[in-house]
A and B are shown apart, each in its own frame.
Chain A
Amino acid sequence: MRISLTVNGTAHQDDVEPRQLLVYYLRETLGLTGTNVGCDTSTCGACTVLVDGRSVKSCTMLAVQADGRDVATIEGMAKNGELHALQQAFHEHHGLQCGYCTPGMIMAADSLIREHPEGLDEQGVRMGLEGNLCRCTGYQNIVTAVLAAAEAMNGRAPAAAPAGGEA
Chain B
Amino acid sequence: MIPAAFDYERADSVEAAVQLLSQHGDEAKLLAGGHSLLPLMKLRLARPSVLVDIDRIDGLSSVRDTGDALEIGALARIGDLAEDATLKEHCGILAYACGQVGDPQVRHRATLGGSVSHGDPASDPPSVLLALDATFVARGPGGERTVAASDFFTGLFETALAPDEMLTAVRVPKLGAGSGWSYQKFHRRQIDWALVGVAAVVQRDDGHIGSARIGLTNMGLTPLRAPGVEQALAGADASDAAALASAAEHAPEGTSPPSDTNGSAEYRRELSKVLVRRAVQEALAS
Contacts and interface: CB of A to CB of B under 8 A. Distances in A.
B281 to A, nearest CB: 24
A42 B5 contact: no
Interface string B27-47: 000010011001100100000
Contacts of B5: 17-19
A48 B106 CA distance: 11
Interface stretch (A58-66, A86-94, A142-150, A156-164): A58-66
A42 B35 contact: yes
A115 to B, nearest CB: 8
B84 interface: no
Residue from B8, B104, B190 whose CB has the most chain A CB atoms within 10 Å:
B104
Interface string A42-78: 1101001000001111001110110000000000000
Contact of A65 (B6, B55, B190, B191): B55
B53 A65 contact: yes
24 contacts: A18-B5, A18-B51, A19-B2, A19-B3, A19-B6, A20-B2, A24-B2, A40-B1, A40-B42, A41-B42, A43-B191, A45-B105, A56-B105, A57-B106, A60-B38, A61-B34, A62-B34, A62-B38, A108-B104, A108-B105, A112-B104, A128-B104, A131-B191, A132-B103
Contacts of A54: 108
Contacts of B190: 127, 130
Contacts of A60: 34-35, 38-39, 109
Interface of A: 1, 17-21, 24, 40-43, 45, 48, 54-57, 60-62, 64-65, 108, 111-112, 127-128, 130-132
A64 B6 CA distance: 12
Contacts, number: 73
A101 to B, nearest CB: 13
B104 A61 contact: no
B37 to A, nearest CB: 10
A156 B1 CA distance: 43
Given A1-B8, A19-B3, A43-B191, A111 B104 contact: yes
B264 to A, nearest CB: 24
B8 A56 contact: no
Contact of A131 (B2, B7, B42, B104): B104
B102 interface: yes
B4 interface: yes
Given A18-B51, A112-B104, A130-B189, 11 more contacts: A19-B2, A41-B42, A56-B108, A56-B109, A57-B106, A60-B38, A64-B8, A108-B104, A111-B108, A131-B102, A131-B105
Contact of A42 (B31, B39, B55): B39
Nearest to B3: A19
Interface in B5-62: 5-8, 31, 34-35, 38-39, 42, 51, 53, 55
A41 B35 CA distance: 10
Contacts of A131: 102-106, 191
Nearest to B83: A115
Contacts of A108: 104-105
Nearest to B1: A40
Closest 10 CB pairs of A and B: A131-B103, A18-B8, A130-B190, A54-B108, A19-B3, A130-B103, A131-B105, A57-B105, A130-B191, A55-B105
Nearest to B103: A131
Interface in B76-107: 102-106
B8 to A, nearest CB: 4
A47 to B, nearest CB: 9
B34 A65 contact: yes
Interface string B105-138: 1101100000000000000000000000000000
A62 B2 CA distance: 10
Contacts of A19: 2-6
Contacts of B1: 40-41
Contact of A41 (B39, B51, B106): B39
